[in-house]
Structure 1
Amino acid sequence: AVVARMNLQYKVPLQCDDEFFSRLWLEKQGVRYVFHQDIFRAKDEKLCLKATVELVCLINGKLGNSEDYDKAFEKYFSSQG
């Protein structure tokens, strides 16, 4: 798989000693695997970063579905968005 697109939206800065937590979910859109990640500052739960990373599989040099990836990610797929 290769990264086809990445979008990072910085919302609120984190400082050196800030604690944070991350929420990650995955969905499949056609041949793309879309990873969504939100990072929140722990002390006030402010959204600091919203990221989307799209992966695609190349099979013999062409975009295609990967049964191995589908099976590996199956339990993580979400319709959340």
Structure 2
Amino acid sequence: MSQYIFELEMQVRDYECDMEGIVNNANYQHYLEHTRHEFLAAAGISFVEMRERGIDPVVNRIEINYKMPLRSRDHFVSKLYMRREGIKFVFYQDIYKVSGELCIKAVVETVCTTQGRITRGEEFVPYFERFLQQE
């Protein structure tokens, strides 16, 4: 059983909703990305610091399963855990309403590039090693 290693509470803003009054599907990717960036900071390095060192985590693939919509002003919690699969660092991210209902399940595969070239991701290991979960 996998356990979440990071959680971030947020609130839906009015402009993130579509004409049906629910969060536009593209905004969930913003929530997921913001959560990963905040996780990086909590792990000891910011996205900006990585970029300044020439290290870039790049999304290689993303899969989102929508379960229940969020609406304007809803409070929610974005949670994640991660695994290393070959050269990829895979983030398993779920978003729940604060009341507990699952809204989305996502799998975000990332790779590392250094100075513009894909690497085996060893640059991430010092920051992620303690968080990586085994299958």
Q: State whether TM-score is above 0.5.
A: yes
The percentage of aligned residue pairs carrying the same residue is 37
In the alignment, which residue of structure 1 is the partner of 2:110? 55
Tell me, in whole angstroms, the C-alpha distance in 1 between the residues paired with 2:127 and 2:115: 20
TM-score, with structure 2 as normaliser: 0.52
**Map 1:4-43 → 2, pairs under 5 A:** 4-43=60-99
Aligned pair 1:69/2:124, yes or no? yes
Tell me which of the two structures has the higher relative contact order, counting C-alpha pairs closer than 8 angstroms and 6 or more residues apart: 1
Deviation string, structure 1 residues 25-68 (Cα, Å, up to 9, x no partner): 1110011100111111112x111011111011246776431322
Give unmatched runs, 5+ long, in structure 2. 1-56
Paired with 2:78 and 2:113, the residues of 1 have a C-alpha distance of 29
Query: When you count strand as a share of all residues, which structure comes out higher?
Result: 1
* Higher helix residue share: 2
Q: Equivalent residue of 1:73, what SS?
A: helix
Aligned residue type for 2:72: C
Task: Give the TM-score, by structure 1 length.
Answer: 0.81
8 Å contact kept, 1:6–1:52: yes
Aligned partners of 1:58 and 1:21: how far apart in 2?
Answer: 29
Q: List alignment gaps of at least 5 residues for structure 1.
A: none
Q: Once superposed, which parts of structure 1, at least 4 consecutive aligned residues long, lie more than 6 Å away? A: none
* Conserved 8 A contact 1:26-1:77: yes
Aligned CA RMSD, in angstroms, stands at 1.9
